[in-house]
């Protein structure tokens, strides 16, 4: 199993440029772990690397699907594992803000067959008809282990628990049990953080720049291509708010403020997530010394070569 360098951190903290400079210097590839950069045609708002950056360093798992296609943590774990284990990439850097994707890759996800759309739709429409409490009670009968771990108001997870049972005939908690233990990977897990207010400030100014660079046009173009408001990719922060302007005439300034706010909310959730992650190195943005990073990374590479 190949060693992997991981760089994660909240949105707008500067992890991409860090990964880029490291990859360039050490001649490594980058695997993006970003649930929105996977989408084609969504460039500005997802802070995707620029064309020249993509040319300088080989990036993977960027622009792999259309905005109306679904993707998920399981697919990422699979795609990333394939790239790391079945190709001749050496010491890839996995860089991105989608913590769940990275943990799925590192720790694995239980193997659950695809749930038929009819089953999923039935569960969803039942939920809308019967309400959360009845559906939660139903889940409690079927799979108390899962039910106990979630709120009786958590539509996504209640429906997930039910659809797995109705779609496979097996309880979700049984799948959890069966989850095989992965051979642990050799990883150097790095997170970049910063003061809350500085992250928030950078988010705000970055979004202003995105809009100035034509994010509204990019969003409009997605609509012209035929993508719909609730297509998977279109729900991305920074886009969904502009769609409010384009489709529902909400004042632009209001939409811009909301987009910034939702990005800040997201950054906060990311920071909470990292607190419980097993990390090897935590770099504070303001005091990142590239010499230090080089030292740790070269040490890691030498130890694992």
Partner RNA sequence: GGCGGGAUAGCUCAGUUGGUAGAGCAGAGGCCUGAAAAGCCUUGUGUCCCCAGUUCAAGUCUGGGUCUUGCCA
CB of 41 to RNA, least distance (A): 13
Instruction: Report angle CA 241, 244, 249 to the nearest 5 degrees.
Output: 140
CB of 168 to RNA, least distance (A): 11
CB of 295 to RNA, least distance (A): 30
C-beta closer to RNA: residue 87 or 265: 265
C-beta closer to RNA: residue 1 or 111: 111
Query: Residue 94 pairs with which residues in a beta bridge?
Result: 6, 31
CB of 179 to RNA, least distance (A): 5
CB of 198 to RNA, least distance (A): 12
DSSP states of the chain as a string? ---EEEEE-STTSSHHHHHHHHHHHHT--EEE--TTTTBTT--TTTTPPPHHHHHHS-EESSS-B-TTS---HHHHHHHHHHHHHHS---SPEEE-S-HHHHHHHHH-----PPPPHHHHHHHHHHHHHH-HHHHHHHHHHH-HHHHHHS-TT-HHHHHHHHHHHHHHSS-HHHHHHHPPPPPPP-EEEEEEE--HHHHHHHHHHHHHHHHHTTHHHHHHHHHHTT--TTSGGGGSTTTHHHHHHHHH---HHHHHHHHHHHHHHHHHHHHHHHHTS--SEEEEGGG--HHHHHHHHHHHHHHH-
Distances (CA, A) of 88 to 55, 78, 248: 19, 16, 49
C-beta closer to RNA: residue 27 or 205: 205
Residues binding RNA (CB under 7 A): 11, 34-37, 45-47, 70-75, 97-101, 109-112, 124, 149-151, 153-157, 159-160, 172, 175-176, 179, 196, 232, 235-238, 261-266, 268-270, 272-273, 275-276
C-beta closer to RNA: residue 35 or 245: 35
* Residue whose pair of structure tokens reads 């950078």 in the numeric block: 202
C-beta closer to RNA: residue 115 or 223: 115
CB of 72 to RNA, least distance (A): 4
C-beta closer to RNA: residue 72 or 140: 72
Tally Cβ neighbours within 10 Å of residue 16: 23
C-beta closer to RNA: residue 51 or 181: 181
CB of 137 to RNA, least distance (A): 16
C-beta closer to RNA: residue 23 or 123: 123
CB of 300 to RNA, least distance (A): 25
Asked if 179 and 150 touch (Cβ cutoff 8 Å), the reply is no
């Amino acid at each position: 199993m190949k060693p992997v360098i991981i760089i994660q951190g909240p949105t707008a903290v500067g992890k991409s440029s860090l990964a880029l400079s490291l990859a360039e210097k050490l001649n490594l590839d980058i695997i993006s772990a970003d649930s929105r950069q996977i989408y084609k045609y969504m460039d500005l708002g997802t802070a995707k690397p620029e064309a020249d950056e993509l040319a300088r360093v080989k990036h993977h798992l960027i622009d792999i699907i259309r905005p109306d296609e679904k993707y998920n943590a399981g697919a990422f774990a699979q795609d990333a594992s394939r790239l790391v284990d079945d190709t001749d990439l050496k010491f890839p850097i996995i860089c991105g803000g989608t913590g769940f994707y990275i943990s799925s890759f590192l720790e694995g996800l239980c193997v659950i067959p695809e749930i038929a759309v009819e089953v999923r739709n039935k569960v969803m429409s039942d939920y809308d008809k019967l309400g959360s409490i009845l559906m939660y009670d139903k889940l409690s009968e079927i799979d108390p282990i899962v039910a106990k771990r979630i709120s009786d108001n958590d539509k996504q997870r209640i429906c997930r628990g039910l659809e797995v049972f109705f779609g496979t005939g097996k309880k979700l908690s049984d799948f959890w049990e069966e989850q095989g233990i992965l051979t642990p990977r050799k990883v150097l897990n790095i997170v970049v953080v910063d003061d809350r207010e500085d992250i928030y400030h950078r988010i705000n100014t970055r979004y202003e720049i995105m809009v100035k660079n034509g994010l509204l046009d990019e969003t409009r173009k997605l609509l012209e291509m035929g993508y719909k408001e609730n297509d998977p990719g279109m729900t991305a922060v920074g886009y969904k708010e502009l769609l409010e302007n384009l489709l529902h005439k909400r004042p632009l300034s209001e939409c811009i403020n909301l987009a910034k706010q939702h990005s800040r909310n997201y950054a906060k959730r990311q920071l909470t997530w990292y607190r419980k992650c097993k990390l090897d190195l935590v770099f504070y943005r303001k005091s990142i010394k590239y010499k230090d990073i080089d030292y740790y990374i070269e040490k890691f590479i030498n130890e694992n070569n």
